[in-house]
């Protein structure tokens, strides 16, 4: 397997997912995309990404539902995740769930510069978590 840091992007908006993936690949990341939560969960288990970027609003399972299912697996409990949403104001309950599930939130539109800095921050957090978990 490659030594590149691996990012998994899960978004039902194929065009947006591909734009995010292209921007991150240009920055030297290995990027996988999935376009629904079920495929994203399968990919997260198989790929074991260093970080995940997931859309909040997807058909069938939203970002919170995805995170609950992701965190059930021991191998994905500490994977850094950012939830991207077009909703300017999420309820306090949703924010509490996202905190409980150890996920960051970014509001769309997410510019490519913000995407790259957010990804680097997630990876820094992942590295920091691994050091303290050892």
CATH no. for residue 57?
A: 3.40.50.2300
Instruction: Compute the 3-state secondary structure of the chain and give helix, strand, coil in percent, each to the nearest 5.
Output: 50, 20, 30
Q: How many domains does the chain have?
A: 1
Sequential DSSP letters for 78-127: T--EEEEES-S---HHHHHHHHHTTEEEEESSPPHHHHHHHHHHHHHHHH
Residue 59 pLDDT: 84
Q: What's the pLDDT score for residue 23?
A: 94
Element (DSSP H or E) covering residue 43: helix 37-47
| Each residue's pLDDT expressed in tens, for the chain with a length of 134 residues | 446 899 999 999 999 999 999 999 999 999 999 999 999 999 999 999 999 999 999 888 888 999 999 999 999 999 999 999 887 788 889 889 999 998 988 887 888 888 889 889 888 876 655 444 44
Q: Is there a domain that residue 1 lies in?
A: no
Looking at residue 87, its pLDDT comes to 78
Q: What is the enclosing helix (H) or strand (E) of 73?
A: none
In the prediction, which pLDDT does 134 show? Answer: 43
- The token duo for 26 is 């240009």
Structural domain of 118: 6-133
Q: Which residue has the tokens 């995309």?
A: 33
């Amino acid at each position: 397997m490659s030594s590149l840091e691996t990012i998994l992007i899960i978004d039902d908006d194929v065009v947006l997912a591909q734009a995010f993936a292209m921007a991150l690949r240009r920055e030297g990341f290995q990027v996988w995309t999935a376009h629904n939560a079920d495929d994203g969960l399968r990919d997260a288990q198989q790929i074991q990404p260093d970080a995940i970027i997931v859309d909040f609003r997807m058909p069938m399972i939203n970002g919170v539902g995805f995170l609950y299912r992701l965190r059930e697996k021991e191998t994905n409990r500490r994977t850094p995740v950012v939830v991207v949403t077009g909703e300017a104001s999420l309820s306090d309950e949703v924010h509490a769930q996202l905190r409980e599930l150890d996920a960051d939130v970014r509001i769309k539109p997410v510019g490519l510069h913000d995407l790259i800095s957010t990804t680097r921050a997630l990876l820094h957090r992942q590295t920091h978590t691994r050091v303290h978990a050892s």
